[in-house]
Amino acid sequence: MKIEEIEAQDLNPQRFIEEKITEISSIAGNGLAVNALSGGVDSSAVTILGHRALGERLKTYFIDHGLMREDEPQRIVPLFKELGVPVELVDSRAEFFNALKGMTDPEEKREAITQAFYKDVFSRLVKESGAGYLLQGTNYTDIEETVAGVKRQHNILEQLGIDTQKQYGYKLIEPLIQLRKPAVREIAKTLELPEEIYNRPPFPGPALAARIIGEVTQERVETVRKATQIVEQALSDTGAFQYLAILHEDKVTGVRDGKRDYGLQIEVRCWDSEDAKTGSPTRVGYDILEKLAERITTEVPGVVSVTYNVTKKPPSTIEAV
């Protein structure tokens, strides 16, 4: 890999920020740029860097692809407005669900999401706004896994030999590409983002689709969304690196009110990790897990089985897809 990592202990956040602001301004010149904010630490840091560099010449969008967690747009858009960053909400739900229709293969689903983002939605936003650049928060771990062929991270293009100017009509600016998560958090903190942003557990670009085994339909997203909300409420106090709910494709036989109930399976994962490169399952207390299973099977329609994954990464990965 040609890109050189800057490790957290070697990072001077203030200097890095100043350098990146200068770099973004000089690349964009007098041109316009767009960026997509998801509310994760990477895209949030990039949004602030971009605004400091370009001011009103950067237009920030929040893409609602329908794969979000509960209330995400309602939470993130006003938070940035308070920080002085106007964000336009774009309803792209139909585009993403159409792109994913009938697909079950993990890498095909990832590719469909990448194309929906870059070829459809971003190309259109770039064209409409007259921008020449897309600013995005790709980090070092994203490229590493994609280039190694572990899984295609949704935001990796140039490292796979894709000429974004030719294929999509815009160039990429990726200020965080040399950093892993702990270093990105330092940058976000130094940029004075609130703690709820700079300390947020990671969340994948393909969002809940990375946690659905089999076809991604609105109904199945709704199931995993409800389970995710419960898992996040129950496990946030563990201080774990990341915690998630996965919806399985296979059904299992359950029993409810004395009758057979052939229902859904949710798998819970909770990870201890520094940077997502490796991880091990958090030793969550049994009482917490038991309550979690009780809540998911009573509050999420159709679920009759909840399991806790005790595998390390590797050989597991953090997400299921």
Where does this chain bind ligand XMP (CB under 6 A)? 142, 145, 150-151, 153-155, 202, 204-206, 210, 242, 276, 313, 317-319
Nearer to ligand XMP, 158 or 261 (CB): 158
Strand-pairing partners, residue 135, are 35, 173
35 vs 19: CA distance, rounded Å: 19
SS3 (DSSP) at 63: strand
CB of 150 to ligand XMP, least distance (A): 6
Nearer to ligand XMP, 155 or 282 (CB): 155
20 vs 9: CA distance, rounded Å: 18
Nearer to ligand XMP, 282 or 297 (CB): 282
SS3 (DSSP) at 186: helix
143 vs 98: CA distance, rounded Å: 27
113 vs 143: CA distance, rounded Å: 17
Nearer to ligand XMP, 93 or 313 (CB): 313
CB of 49 to ligand XMP, least distance (A): 17
Nearer to ligand XMP, 236 or 253 (CB): 236
26 vs 234: CA distance, rounded Å: 46
CA geometry: angle at 243 spanning 95 and 273, to 5°? Answer: 115
Structure tokens at 278: 């490796």
CB of 210 to ligand XMP, least distance (A): 5
282 vs 53: CA distance, rounded Å: 40
CB of 242 to ligand XMP, least distance (A): 5
Nearer to ligand XMP, 133 or 241 (CB): 241
CB of 6 to ligand XMP, least distance (A): 19
CB of 110 to ligand XMP, least distance (A): 6
